[in-house]
Amino acid sequence: DAGVIQSPRHEVTEMGQEVTLRCKPISGHNSLFWYRQTMMRGLELLIYFNNNVPIDDSGMPEDRFSAKMPNASFSTLKIQPSEPRDSAVYFCASTPPEQDTQYFGPGTRLTVL
Amino acid sequence: AQSVTQLGSHVSVSEGALVLLRCNYSSSVPPYLFWYVQYPNQGLQLLLKYTTGATLVKGINGFEAEFKKSETSFHLTKPSAHMSDAAEYFCAVSGGYSTLTFGKGTMLLVSP
């Protein structure tokens, strides 16, 4: 079975540009999570969805960040405009119904110059 | 609210030595506890989890962890380290709605 798929794996952009990260959860999973990982702050939960509905976005750092889940098989995390401090690895994870185990994607390494 | 404390950001062992990675948690409800491993440039992978029942949990790659409610601990152990165990290890506690609260991580270094 395919795991969680994220694209792109690496993104290098310039400050002020819009960045869109994509995630395809495991088929049949109904919860999806976006995390950010940095050396300084560790692993931070940004937002999570249950049945395509955003449940908690309190971890989204500011209005420049937005996330959508238009259907059960696709989610995006958008940063507009991007800033150098947004440089990090962004992970997507999904969980099956009625379970707590999260399955992580390989991550997108974002570098904002 | 839930929280996780991992003691030691780095742990160094020799190949063949005992691995012990410490995790203490705080939870307002009976916890579900997890250990994840992250190899360089990869996502997190589940090692093992405790939900209910037996307090000694066995995971992949020879790792195990014991849930001790009285000590609010969930330490990860492996009797004999292998070079391939070098990675970062994260302890996590479930906070309901499938959310997990992660510790800061412990980097395991294995020397020959």
pLDDT of residue A81: 96
A104 with B44: Cβ contact below 8 A: yes
Q: What percent of chain B has pLDDT over 90?
A: 79
pLDDT of residue A37: 93
pLDDT of residue B11: 97
The minimum CA-CA distance between B98 and chain A, rounded to whole Å, is 4
pLDDT of residue B84: 95
Say how far apart CA A39 and CA A59 lie, in whole Å. 17
The 10s digit of each residue's pLDDT in B75-85 is: 999 999 999 99
B99 with A48: Cβ contact below 8 A: yes
* CB half-sphere exposure, A29, CA atoms < 13 A: 30
Average pLDDT, chain B: 93
Residues of chain A with C-beta less than 8 angstroms from the C-beta of B104: 42
Of A43, A55, A106, the CB nearest to B97: A55
pLDDT of residue B97: 62
Of B90, B98, B103, the CB nearest to A31: B98
Q: Average of pLDDT values for B86-103?
A: 87
In this predicted structure, the answer to whether residue B54 has a pLDDT above a threshold of 80 is yes
Which position has the higher pLDDT, A100 or B69? B69
Segment holding A82, helix H or strand E = none
Q: Are A35 and A46 in contact (CB under 8 A)?
A: yes
Q: Which of B100, B66, B44, B53 is nearest to A37 (CA)?
A: B44
Of A43, A55, A100, the CB nearest to B94: A100
Say how far apart CA A8 and CA B84 lie, in whole Å. 27
Q: Average of pLDDT values for B23-30?
A: 89
Helix then strand then coil, in percent of chain A rounded to 5, is 5, 55, 40
The 10s digit of each residue's pLDDT in A2-29 is: 899 999 999 999 999 999 999 999 999 9
Say how far apart CA B104 and CA A44 lie, in whole Å. 10
Give the best residue of B91, B98, B102, B104 to mutate against chain A (max A CB count within 10 A).
B98
The 10s digit of each residue's pLDDT in A30-81 is: 999 999 999 888 899 999 999 999 999 999 988 999 999 999 999 999 999 9
